[in-house]
Amino acid sequence: MTQLATVDQDKSVETINGAEILVEMLIRLETEYIFAYPGGCSMPLHQALRAQRDRIRTILPRHEQGGSFAAQGVARTTGKVGVCMATSGPGATNLVTGIADAKLDSIAMVAITGQVPQKFIGTDAFQETPMVEVCRAITKHHYLITDINDVARIVKEAFYIANTGRPGPVLIDFPKDVQQATLPLKDVDFDPPFDLPGYQPKVRKAAPEQISQVVAAIRRSKRPVLYVGGGCILSDASDELRKFALRTGIPVTMTVMGLGAFPGEHEQSLHMLGMHGTAYANYAVNESDLLLAFGVRFDDRVTGKLDEFAKHGKIVHVDIDPSEIHKNKEAHIPINADLKEALIALNAALTDADIPDIKEWSAKIADWKKNFPLSYRHSDEEILQQAAIDELYQQTKEKDPYIAVGVGQHQMWTAQFYKFSKPRHWLSSSGLGTMGFGLPAAMGVQTAHPNSLVVDIDGDGSFQMNIQELATLRCENLPVKILLLNNQHLGMVTQWEDRFMDGRRAHTYLGPVEDPEALGEGDGSLPELTYPNFVQIAKAYGIKARQVRHKKDLAEAIAEMINHDGPYLLDVLCVYQEHVLPMIPTGRTVDDMILE
């Protein structure tokens, strides 16, 4: 402890300041990495981090938003709390998108922001923003530290709140004067009691009678479907889910947050459901007589028109958050409980007599899979995004990689064509849909898993939102691979223009052009020169890079990328008129699904 303490003038009493207390608490709470960008109101915190560099690794992102997504990369793949930090004012507000993203995807994160000294709060001081007010609606909880005696308790509570119950982000706003205030070291309690009278996140268990109701519903069902979301992964329930699914034979479909909860290549897997889910998953849910909704929130991208979603059967909804029960869709058997505990109870309660006879149902699903498979057109010359993702999958699936994505068409194609076999290996900004998520999220994953293969599959639009993090990869020696699917367009918006706006291009082309109205004509292939030159940009950051545009070069280029020792950017030029299919238009039903 003496290594972080300072000594006062008379050399008789060791003291410690507020910033040092916070850093010591981070370390005691097993924080190994913090993504932090310094500024005037967070300098004491950075000095404290510098003094503890042998105990906690501070990584300097090149933008605070990048740091917030990197912290999520740690949290999403380890199950621990991710930590990021910024200074006051613009530094703090640059974290807001990452905080909102963590809130919607239920990611445990603690965001620490410097704040102006207390006497200046409310005076519109230089680089002052009221971060508690700004973040009130997008955090699970928030703190403004006003007393150095509260620092240790607040940090302990913030971690506890972030990673218990339904996980989420917690903000700690830390005025500079409190950071600099000191206490005698002997007076600091580094394991203080909680002061959380209104927060009691006990592990909720399903009542025995509820479990009996579910078992009875399973026994009577003829067309059951498991609908599994991110709550299964967050509760570490994947093993119990697999045991349950294999025992009952019930087919499994997953949300975009639930991918990896059940092996994607297993014959019972229906893959993703919803707007861009598989046709057979959507057909199965539509015709099911029992929908086992585990760790899901019935969001609009899954349900489409709510009144028509899964209306032919009984719904069992298990979720740890009571506010989600009946919020969007009425459940016939609502269970507010931890999903892992509920599945343990279900697995224990099931007998051979409870296993439903679903041979006809399984045969019908097999026919749907045969008649409506995920597919894409093949080309001997052009590179289609789906083909690039499929090739990456074939070359890496045995390497147990972590895959992060940006937001757009490439995100949905990756969800469709990369079959995840394990939880916590897929990272997607799913609820907020934040472009720029992929690269910094992969950066955080690589930090936490230095010996693993980490790939960011990105689009040229999304990638440029946080392209500056290439510098972090290089300077921190993080060997992230970037598969850049470059179609020179905002592909998903372009798809909607094609489908619903007669192909009229409205600011979705990302390159320089004399005649925007001419775009969209022809075969969708790209010009010889594309903009910007991503290979030159990557090389300027000191990162190895290569561009490919012909199908014959793709497999070898991907092999070179994944086998390179350091970070690598592969710029893959793709056609821009491909659409992500199937597609259920917003607010519509499975009957409106676009298949071709």
pLDDT digit string, tens, across residues 309-357: 999 999 999 999 999 999 999 999 999 999 999 999 999 999 999 999 9
Would you place residue 596 in the very low, low, confident or very high pLDDT band (cuts 50, 70, 90)? confident
Would you place residue 12 in the very low, low, confident or very high pLDDT band (cuts 50, 70, 90)? low
Half-sphere exposure of 391 (CA within 13 A, CB side): 22
- Tell me the C-alpha distance between 71 and 95, whole Å: 11
pLDDT digit string, tens, across residues 474-510: 999 999 999 999 999 999 999 999 999 999 999 999 9
Would you place residue 200 in the very low, low, confident or very high pLDDT band (cuts 50, 70, 90)? confident
Rounded to an integer, the average pLDDT of 463-469 is 98
- Does residue 2 surpass a pLDDT of 50? no
Tell me the CA distances in angstroms from 561 to 238, 314, 548, 565, one per residue in order: 31, 48, 12, 9
Would you place residue 467 in the very low, low, confident or very high pLDDT band (cuts 50, 70, 90)? very high
Enumerate the active-site residues. 64, 126-127, 176, 492
- Tell me the C-alpha distance between 442 and 499, whole Å: 32
* Count of Cβ atoms closer than 10 Å to residue 507 Cβ: 8
| Mean pLDDT score across all residues of the chain | 94
Helix (H, G, I), strand (E, B) or coil at 3: coil
pLDDT digit string, tens, across residues 578-592: 999 999 999 999 999
- Closest to 446 measured CA to CA, from 487, 404, 407: 404
Q: List, as one string, the DSSP characters of 189-214.
A: -SSPPP--TT---------HHHHHHH
Helix (H, G, I), strand (E, B) or coil at 225: strand
Q: List, as one string, the DSSP characters of 541-575.
A: TT-EEEEE-SGGGHHHHHHHHHH-SS-EEEEEE--
- Does residue 58 surpass a pLDDT of 80? yes
- Does residue 11 surpass a pLDDT of 60? no
Query: Which pLDDT belongs to residue 514?
Result: 57
- Predicted TM-score (pTM) of the model is 0.95
Domains in the chain: ranges and CATH: 6-187 (3.40.50.970), 208-371 (3.40.50.1220), 385-573 (3.40.50.970)
